Amino acid sequence: MNRFILFDLDGTLIDGVDDLVSALNVVLHSHQLPALNRPELESMLGDGMRMLMQRAFASRSTTLAAIEFNQACDDFLAAYKATGYLDTRLYAGVADTLKQLHNDGWRIGLASNKLTEPCESILQRLGIRALFSVVAGGDATSEKKPDAGHLLYALAHMGYRREAGDTAVMVGVLA
């Protein structure tokens, strides 16, 4: 019997809001719209990047046509990557907790709706990537959290076998 633990990333292991604010404000500025501050953006989080973009533009009384909106989403992803995730930080105690779980024999994975590439880059930059046996970002499957398909995909890639009596736990936000 093996033990598996999946973590969400944003709001569970990391505080990455400042990098999101920076990236989103690049996009808003390109549309001649006022910048958002951290508390404004925090109230818009949840349900993924596209919903964040919709909420941000709506907060500035702006609706974009589909082609413009898709371009704004692409621009956001480029601006987010350009931050280098330099203002993203681990919450206190996260690294020690992950190391202890790893040392205690838990197989650790990440299941996030954030795209896989930024997840990988953030974990690497923060020095904890080696603790994760799988990183399943939102582009890893056609399903997104809270759909169980996303979590089952991550668990399968970690070697989870329910029929063998394996235990699995999810820590974090499912949406």
Instruction: Return the domain boundaries, the chain.
Output: 3-15+88-171, 17-82
Nearby residues of 35 by Cβ (< 8 Å), 6 or more positions away: 25, 28, 29
pLDDT tens, residue by residue, 8-30: 999 999 999 999 999 999 999 99
Residues in the chain: 175
pTM above 0.85, yes or no: yes
What is the CATH architecture of 3-15+88-171? 3-Layer(aba) Sandwich (3.40)
Compute the distance between CA of residue 92 and CA of residue 161 in angstroms, rounded to an integer. 32
Question: By CB neighbour count within 10 A (0-12 exposed, 13-18 middle, 19+ buried), where does 35 fall?
Answer: middle
Averaged over 5-9, what is the pLDDT? 97
